[in-house]
Chain A
Amino acid sequence: MEEQILTPIIGSEDGQAVLSTWSVKAGDHIDIGQIIGSIETNKAVLDLESTKKGVIKALLVAAGTEIADLQPLVTVIVES
């Protein structure tokens, strides 16, 4: 079953943020809580943690892309 990992609600004034780096790629196995990338806001650089366990089907945004709160970032084939 496919599920998506979303941008967390960052709490910055207007949700402005950039997906600055990916530390995983399509095909990688990821676990819940694993750091899969970083998000840079004007206030801080934050770790992006996986909320799913499974295999990455696709990264939906490229590094350097501006992202919004709750935007889908990763499609994961989740393990049952």
Chain B
Amino acid sequence: MVKTLAVDPEEVRKSKVIHLGQIPVNSFSQTFIQSLTQLGKDKVIFSFRTMLIIREFELMLEEIKKLGKYQETAFKYAGPAHLSIGQEASAVGQALALDTVDIILGSHRSHGETLAKGLFAIDKLSDQELTKIFEAPETKHIIKNFNSSKITKKEKAIEVFLFGLISEIFGKETGFNKGLGGSMHAFYTPFGIYPNNAIVGGSAPIATGIALYNRVQRKNNVVIANIGDASSACGPVWESMNFAAMGQFKTNKEKKINGGLPIVYFFVNNFYGMGGQPIGETMGYENLARVGAGINPDRLHTEVVDGNNIFAVHDAITRAKKIIAQGKGPVLIDCQTYRFSGHSPSDASSYRTKEEIDSWRDVDPIKILETDILNNNLLLPQEIEEMHLQVKKLTFDAFVKAIDDKISPRLPLHSNPEIIGNLTFNNTSKEIDFSYAAETLMDPLQTQRVKSTNNKSRIGKDQNGILSGVKAITFRDALFEPILEHAIHDDSLVIYGEENRDWGGAFGVYRGLTEVLPSHRLFNSPIAEAAIVGTAVGYAMAGGRALIELMYADFIGRAGDEIFNQLAKWQAMSGGILKLPVVLRISVGSKYGAQHSQDWSSLLTHISGLKVIYPATAFDAKGLMASALESNDPVVFVENQRLYDNVETINISGVPQEYYKIEIGKPAIVRAGKDLTIFSVGACLIRALEAAEVLENKWNISTEVIDARSLVPFDPDLLIKSVSKTKKLICISDACERGNWLHGIMNLIYEKNSNDLENKISSVMAPNWITPAAEQEWNYFPSVENILDAVLDQGITLLGRVRTIQNDSLNNFKKGI
């Protein structure tokens, strides 16, 4: 489909000036009395007490880290503690303006944000609602040793919440996420608290994905991405802000889903990274807020807010929510505050002066509010004193329970170390519901793509030989078919990536989908791989299902953190509470040289938490894509561009028209044989089969060819049995030799088939250097000739053939290549 956004040269070439407009700084001018009148005494007191709880909570951790005790009770805690002492007003002011259904994601120092959101949720929820939440399957592990009848009382609920957070920080099974997240990854979704992140700015893409979910699913709640000021230098943060502000949210012609994403980028600006200062040292902007002006004409409605004044923060968030409700988000808030504590307890604050710290202590947000409360007779001095003591007791009670191994045990990893391993994947799926009709723009049967596909032969050859890709179903068509089925039967599925709409993806897999799917469910992302993957993580975390694409495998580095730390780790880090149904399509290029043709499949298998699929036939592509789309685990679906135009000639019954699935993790015998086994990964299968054919025809050697199909998980039984029979094994892969996934397989076969193997296993892999230009590719990737050389290495005589290439692996090892 052709775009409707015209690019007019006359307009483009006009002389003009771009006006960036103004960004308000500390515009809040309400007096305390005005705020009190607006909010009421109870809320003000509750906010004050919440600030005290946060302060005491952080002081507890500081005392434990520095002195090994809290209130004279010894406890040793080895993990991190990034404290937010001094920043309480920014967290509480924010929570004061949010509803329970609104969602926050925490910053690098997130205890305060988590506590504030949690305590305000407890305040708003009824006893029955709280009981239901605490006893829900995902959260009841926290209270398993509590007397639950008492938890309905709000004060007890606060203690349980503190206990859950402290337990999580101390790595206890009764922590929010079973102690597997810890200080920097705690979350509690029933109160709208989604994961915090140890990666600076890591919350930005995930929060943006949750906001995408809320928009696509037409929910009204807002998302707050709490991120630190130093994260304003991070690419994924910029990518996220741009993603949320994409023009298409305002211009999409269907007008079904309109407006920028409902998210606030809440920069908790304490003026320091660890010790580096964004303003004046590591950034050029002089004011963080300036970045808003670079994103869209609304300047993201950016404001600089006094983060030591809860009422200023409350006011800013309240107005941000109104902007978002009008479809005019996203919003950026530069919330300026200060941490009195170091970056962590070991921080000697050598990078700042005592005078500076003292000057901020003079405007301690707790002191400011306490003075206002006293001056206006909301509380008497002794009542405040009692409140301080009561908060200390509350914190101590939760602390004592959290360190008590009877009430708060650790996961028994010593006796059962696989507990974490078993949380890596949920191994569940959501079956396609063919009876459900998702929102579509037209009947897919009426699209040219489906009409053409339906006219094609399902088998790739006839009596005259192999059919062309316009006459028979190709690998590309085989991928399209299950994707279309899921798209038209599941409204929660969104599909995006670079050039996915109109173009249909760079390799045309989605051709025809643009006509069928509304633009909020199939859209072009910016060229921003971190945002593509990171938002998919958030979208899935919130309850959706995402099919995303990185155009070339070589681009995974651009989404490194989002693939390696976020997509791969959150299921286990959440103690199995979160599910991440994301299918990440990655294509391995060909003919495009070093930065567009590398097979990174082995690298992906190194990352714990990703299922990795790599089909080589159209039949497998269809069945495995269906399984991937039904999976509730993150799946990386590797496609090799050499295969897109291939018709099905390997599976003789062709590609069935109806929907079917192939189990992830099961290899297949593609050609049966008895003299030799070739084990192939991905597109190498075509060359393996060609070599087997040559061996059969020229030398009467019977070769069994096994296609891995899935790399993670992988069931090796078929391969072990094959090697037991043939006693010879050659492994081939287009991925580089060093760290190749096949080395693990080879080790396993050495172990399991130690009495069977007649020779050492031969391997044919790409060398440890760059992919050359198109014309030279076959001097790099494993070729049929290389495979035949490996057959010679197996001690098999191939009459008339001598080795074509000599490998000097020892010397290459020394040279590092």
B504 engages A44 (CB within 8 Å): yes
A16 engages B504 (CB within 8 Å): no
Given A12-B645, A13-B645, A42-B471 contact (CB < 8 Å): no
Given A13-B644, A16-B645, A42-B448 contact (CB < 8 Å): no
B468 engages A45 (CB within 8 Å): no
Question: For residue A67, which residue of chain B has the nearest CB?
Answer: B470
CA distance A43 to B644 in the complex (A): 9
B468 engages A16 (CB within 8 Å): yes
Using an 8 Å CB-CB cutoff, how does the interface string of B474-495 with A read, 1 for contact, 0 for none?
A: 1011000000000000000000
Using an 8 Å CB-CB cutoff, how does the interface string of B575-593 with A read, 1 for contact, 0 for none?
A: 0000000000000000000
Q: Which of A32-70 contact B (CB under 8 A)?
A: 40-45, 66
CA distance A44 to B2 in the complex (A): 12
Out of A40, A42, A44, A66, name the residue touching B645 (CB < 8 Å).
A42
A45 engages B448 (CB within 8 Å): yes
What are the residues of chain A within 8 A of B342 when measuring CB–CB? none
Min CB gap B698→A, angstroms: 27
B508 engages A44 (CB within 8 Å): yes
B511 within 8 A of partner (CB): yes
Given A14-B469, A14-B645, A16-B468, A42-B474 contact (CB < 8 Å): yes
Min CB gap A16→B, angstroms: 4
* Chain B binding surface SS class: loop
A78 within 8 A of partner (CB): no
Question: For residue A40, which residue of chain B has the nearest CB?
Answer: B452
Given A40-B452, A42-B644, A16-B508 contact (CB < 8 Å): no
A77 within 8 A of partner (CB): no
B660 within 8 A of partner (CB): no
Given A18-B470, A66-B470, A43-B508 contact (CB < 8 Å): yes
CA distance A66 to B641 in the complex (A): 22
Out of B468, B471, B511, name the residue touching A43 (CB < 8 Å).
B511
**Looking at B470, B508, B644, which has the most chain A CB atoms within 10 Å of its CB?**
B470
Using an 8 Å CB-CB cutoff, how does the interface string of B688-722 with A read, 1 for contact, 0 for none?
A: 00000000000000000000000000000000000
Please tell me the size bucket of the interface on B: 10 to 19
A17 within 8 A of partner (CB): yes
Size of chain A's interface in residues, with CB distance under 8 A?
14
CA distance A17 to B504 in the complex (A): 17
What are the residues of chain A within 8 A of B469 when measuring CB–CB? 14, 16, 42
B508 engages A17 (CB within 8 Å): no
B507 within 8 A of partner (CB): yes
Q: Which of B206-224 contact A (CB under 8 A)?
A: none
Q: Which of B425-482 contact A (CB under 8 A)?
A: 448, 452, 468-471, 474, 476-477
B645 engages A17 (CB within 8 Å): no
Min CB gap B447→A, angstroms: 10
B504 engages A42 (CB within 8 Å): no
Question: For residue A68, which residue of chain B has the nearest CB?
Answer: B468
CA distance A13 to B645 in the complex (A): 7
What are the residues of chain A within 8 A of B504 when measuring CB–CB? 43-44
CA distance A44 to B476 in the complex (A): 12
What are the residues of chain A within 8 A of B452 when measuring CB–CB? 40
What are the residues of chain B within 8 A of A43 when measuring CB–CB? 476, 504, 507-508, 511
Q: Which of B628-677 contact A (CB under 8 A)?
A: 641-642, 644-645
CA distance A43 to B476 in the complex (A): 8
Using an 8 Å CB-CB cutoff, how does the interface string of A1-42 with B read, 1 for contact, 0 for none?
A: 000000000001110111010000000000000000000111
Question: For residue A13, which residue of chain B has the nearest CB?
Answer: B645
CA distance A17 to B511 in the complex (A): 15
CA distance A67 to B387 in the complex (A): 84
CA distance A53 to B644 in the complex (A): 37
Question: For residue A14, which residue of chain B has the nearest CB?
Answer: B645
Q: Which of B231-271 contact A (CB under 8 A)?
A: none
A44 engages B644 (CB within 8 Å): no
What are the residues of chain A within 8 A of B476 when measuring CB–CB? 42-43
Min CB gap B508→A, angstroms: 3
Question: For residue A43, which residue of chain B has the nearest CB?
Answer: B508
What are the residues of chain B within 8 A of A40 when measuring CB–CB? 448, 452, 470
Q: Which of B190-219 contact A (CB under 8 A)?
A: none
**Looking at B469, B471, B474, B642, which has the most chain A CB atoms within 10 Å of its CB?**
B469
Given A12-B645, A14-B645, A16-B645, A44-B511 contact (CB < 8 Å): yes
What are the residues of chain A within 8 A of B641 when measuring CB–CB? 13
B448 engages A66 (CB within 8 Å): no
Question: For residue B641, which residue of chain A has the nearest CB?
Answer: A13
B448 engages A17 (CB within 8 Å): no
Min CB gap A46→B, angstroms: 11
CA distance A20 to B452 in the complex (A): 10
Min CB gap A50→B, angstroms: 20
Using an 8 Å CB-CB cutoff, how does the interface string of B527-548 with A read, 1 for contact, 0 for none?
A: 0000000000000000000000
Question: For residue B480, which residue of chain A has the nearest CB?
Answer: A42
What are the residues of chain B within 8 A of A45 when measuring CB–CB? 448, 511
CA distance A17 to B452 in the complex (A): 12
Min CB gap A22→B, angstroms: 16
**Looking at A12, A13, A42, which has the most chain B CB atoms within 10 Å of its CB?**
A42
Contacts A42-B477, A43-B511 known; 15 new A-B pairs at CB < 8 A: A12-B645, A13-B644, A13-B645, A16-B470, A18-B470, A40-B470, A41-B470, A42-B470, A42-B508, A42-B644, A42-B645, A43-B504, A43-B508, A45-B448, A66-B468
Q: Name 20 A/B residue pairs within 8 A (Cβ), A-sorted.
A: A12-B645, A14-B468, A14-B645, A16-B470, A16-B645, A40-B452, A40-B470, A41-B508, A42-B470, A42-B474, A42-B508, A42-B644, A43-B504, A43-B507, A43-B508, A44-B504, A44-B508, A44-B511, A45-B448, A66-B470
Q: Which 5 A-B pairs have the closest CB atoms?
A: A43-B508, A13-B645, A16-B469, A18-B470, A16-B468
Spell out B's residues near A (CB within 8 Å).
448, 452, 468-471, 474, 476-477, 503-504, 507-508, 511, 641-642, 644-645
Spell out A's residues near B (CB within 8 Å).
12-14, 16-18, 20, 40-45, 66
